[in-house]
A and B are shown apart, each in its own frame.
Chain A
Amino acid sequence: MTAPINPADSLLERAPQALRDLVTSHFPQPWRWFANGLLADVAILAVFGLLFAALTLAERKILGRVQNRPGPNRTGPFGLLQPIADGIKMLSKEDIVPRDADHLLHFLAPVTLLASAIMAFAVIPYGRNLVPVDLDAGVLYFFCVGATTELAVFMAGWSSHNKYSLLAAMRALAQLISYELPLLLSWVPVVMISGTLSTTGIVAAQSGWRWGWMPTWHVFTPWGLAGFIIFMVSALAESNRSPFDLPEAESELIAGHLTEYSGCKYVFFFMAEYFGMTALSGMAVTLFLGGWHAPLPALEFIPSYAWFGIKLISLLMGFIWIRATFPRLRMDQLTRFAWKFLVPLALINLATAAFWSLSFGWSGPMLAARCGVALVLVIVPFVLLGRRLTAGLAPRSYAYAT
């Protein structure tokens, strides 16, 4: 967040940076960088904290509407104060630690999880010149921070000194490890095509227009579409969201590895889940949906951070929509889906991206051939693998009792 203001930008576009300079100009020059970083932290925590609160309410409202009921509407007008009531309730609950628990690890698990979830926000470009830390290997940083999630889940399960917690933690780990691989493989094509691991570089690679109107986002290429879908499915599983919410499985398990957690520590896990979901959606926007770029040249007058927000919230709404629709998978279905479907598809997608990168110079009729070959490389494995995956399962015929 140290990029200088570009006077060519519009007033709204410059507003966040101008605000930053207004605040940090009171600090002496040697400490300016520190003040900038601190301000970025405060901004991230404030914005995403509020987004977390709004998201919990939106989720309950939308789930309600999908199930033809009004959802929470008791606290405040239209139930808008519900997140505040939830927060007061959760924070005022007693924090119970089992007598035989490993107290230090029991405390460290939620802290590690939340810390890693918040750290992931550091490298996402939220707008033109709005990236807290512009790392050379930003994408790698994002996923290496996410890797500590598994550690935290294990710590939570083991330190509770409860066999249900430990077993559930092992199940959660099996799921997280299974989906870590397609998640990591799905963004490698993006790095191959963009030639950089920096998040700002990847966004810059998606700037510009083809034929004057079509955005050159990665999702509009065959490999990008496949990568985006694999990424989002793996992100669903990594953030323990329905239909991959086996680790918690609210309705049938006793909250899995969170059995022995209550009060503030439980809130930390809950927040980490939503922060992780938001961060992964933000990364999906950056990698595939063109980051903060506008979808049409005529819409560029809207500031870049607004576009990022719109895309981010659309993806989060997609998460909620999926949760409202799909039933939970079984454990064997879950791992089979990862190893026999997503991982092969992601590997084939690497080859598709390699072809796309090699055929960069093709033009004219060869451009059609390029798109055609890439599409075939994406669709044929999908159909074949999908047929193998669902062999003997679909279409089903139902016999009604007479």
Chain B
Amino acid sequence: MNALFLILIALVTLGAAATAMALRNLIHSVLLLIGSWIGVSVFYLFAGAEFVAFAQVLVYVGAVSMVVLFAVLLTRRSRLDISVTPDSLSRAISAVLAAGAVLGVLLYGIVFTPLPGAAPKGPSATVKQLGVELMGDHAAALLIIGLILTVATLGAVVIASNDPKAEDRQ
């Protein structure tokens, strides 16, 4: 029963992602991508990580999806502008290389991460435990992520703000 459920979640998630890549209509692709994210969050829920699952929906479906949608709507000129064939052979090769590198890193991470053989089937981690873990053992990672996001936010503010003095000088 559980295995069947897991396979179903995986099929929906991966199917949505694959269809998103194949579709010509970018908006449909984005919406399918969001469906794939929801699938991932359902998987977290299935694995008993309530907090992570809800945070996934809140952040990805609520916020990131909007960024992607706005980006698509603001950049796309017409449906015909999107080329289906690569511009040149070198570009295609570099794209394949970059994608392959990412895949390799991910696969390496997945295959060689030591996992505890049989996870204890205890009660799921409470929010307090999560907080203690984040602020204790993983404080450095949290700080780095915070720094990166702050830099990104500052960059966005700098790009978006119009400096009246700079405009005068031009």
Contact = CB atoms under 8 A, between A and B. Distances in A.
Chains A and B directly touch (beta carbon < 8 Å): yes
Interface in A139-180: 140-141, 143-145, 147-148, 150-151, 154-155, 158, 170, 173, 177, 180
A151 B34 contact: yes
B61 A137 contact: no
B31 A140 contact: no
A34 to B, nearest CB: 14
Nearest to B58: A144
A151 B61 contact: yes
Given A144-B55, A147-B57, A136 B65 contact: no
A331 interface: no
Interface residues of B, number: 21
Contacts of A143: 58
Contact of B62 (A144, A155, A191, A196): A144
Contacts of A136: 50-51, 124, 126-127
B66 A177 contact: yes
A154 B66 contact: yes
B149 interface: no
Contacts of B27: 158
Centre residue among B50, B55, B63, B127 by max chain A CB count within 10 A: B127
A147 B31 contact: no
Centre residue among B54, B57, B70 by max chain A CB count within 10 A: B54
A147 B63 contact: yes
Given A144-B54, A173-B66, A180-B62, 20 more contacts: A136-B51, A137-B51, A140-B55, A140-B58, A141-B54, A143-B58, A144-B57, A144-B58, A144-B61, A145-B57, A147-B57, A148-B57, A148-B62, A150-B62, A150-B65, A177-B63, A180-B63, A196-B127, A196-B128, A197-B127
B69 interface: yes
A178 to B, nearest CB: 11
Contacts of B73: 170
A154 B28 CA distance: 12
Nearest to A136: B50
Interface in B54-79: 54-55, 57-58, 61-63, 65-66, 69-70, 73
A151 B63 CA distance: 9
B157 to A, nearest CB: 11
Interface string A318-339: 0000000000000000000000
Interface residues of A, number: 24
A385 interface: no
A105 interface: yes
The 6 closest A-B pairs by CB, nearest first: A147-B62, A144-B57, A144-B58, A140-B54, A144-B54, A197-B127
Contacts of B54: 137, 140-141, 144
B66 to A, nearest CB: 6
Nearest to A147: B62
Interface of B: 27, 31, 34, 50-51, 54-55, 57-58, 61-63, 65-66, 69-70, 73, 124, 126-128
A297 interface: no
A87 interface: no
A137 B127 contact: yes
B79 to A, nearest CB: 13
A64 interface: no
Given A135-B50, A137-B51, A173-B66, A147 B127 contact: no
Centre residue among B27, B62, B124, B128 by max chain A CB count within 10 A: B62
A163 B109 CA distance: 46
A148 B126 contact: no
Nearest to A177: B66
A180 B65 CA distance: 14
Contacts of B126: 136, 196
Interface in A111-156: 135-137, 140-141, 143-145, 147-148, 150-151, 154-155
Contact of B31 (A105, A170, A195): A105
B58 A147 contact: yes
Nearest to A140: B54
A143 B128 CA distance: 19
A158 B54 CA distance: 26
Centre residue among A135, A145, A154 by max chain B CB count within 10 A: A154
A148 B57 CA distance: 8
A150 B66 contact: yes
Contacts of B31: 105, 151, 155
A147 B65 CA distance: 10
Given A147-B61, A154-B69, A173-B66, A195 B50 contact: no
6 contacts: A136-B50, A136-B126, A137-B127, A140-B51, A151-B62, A180-B62
A177 B66 CA distance: 9
A250 B32 CA distance: 32
Contact of B50 (A137, A151, A154, A170): A137
Contacts of B50: 135-137, 140-141
A177 B51 CA distance: 22
Contacts of B51: 136-137, 140, 197
Nearest to B60: A147
Nearest to B67: A177
